[in-house]
Each structure stands twice: as structure tokens, then as C-alpha cells.
Amino acid sequence: MINPDFDPLQDLEELKKFCVAADLHINNLNKNQKIFVEQINELRQDVMELIQVNKQLMEKLDEIDG
């Protein structure tokens, strides 16, 4: 039995629209991921520097306390 409402061209056009939208969404997610990774790396470096400064301060305090 043939479905008279079936329009393969319309289905293909809808599928194409979906694929284009999905591709755009995936590209945006990739860009966001790159930004997040960059920010995390910068924050990690900041934390490591703070840890080093804290360590130096603690050593100075230990010297003062005797």
C-alpha cells in the first residue's frame, strides 16, 4: 500500500535542515569546550602560583617563629 501523504523530497529537506542545525550546534559546543579548557588551564596556573606564594610565606613564618 502506498501512502499518498508520503513526500520523500520534503522528508529529505527536513533531514537536511536538521543536519545543518545539528552541525552548527556541535561546532558551537566545540568552540565552548576550547574556551573552557583554556580558562581551566589559566585558573590552574593561577592556583599553582598561589600555592607557591603560600608555601614561601609559610617558610618565612617558620623562620620567624624559630
Structural domain harbouring 47: 35-66
**If phi over 0 gives left and psi between -120 and 50 gives alpha, with beta otherwise, what is residue 52?**
alpha
5 within a domain of the structure (yes/no)? no
Mean pLDDT of 18-33: 98
pTM for the full model?
0.65
Structural domains counted in the chain: 1
Supply the DSSP symbol for 66.
-
CA angle in degrees (0–180, nearest 5) for 25-27-30? 110
Confidence grade of residue 29 (pLDDT, cut at 50, 70, 90): very high
Interatomic CA distance for residues 63 and 24, integer angstroms: 59
Does 6 fall in a domain? no
Domain membership of residue 61 (yes or no) is yes
- Examine residue 8 and state whether it is found in any structural domain, yes or no: no
Residue 1 resides in a domain? no
Tell me the pLDDT band of 19, cut-offs 50, 70 and 90. Answer: very high
Taking 90 as the threshold, does the pLDDT of residue 37 lie above it? Answer: yes
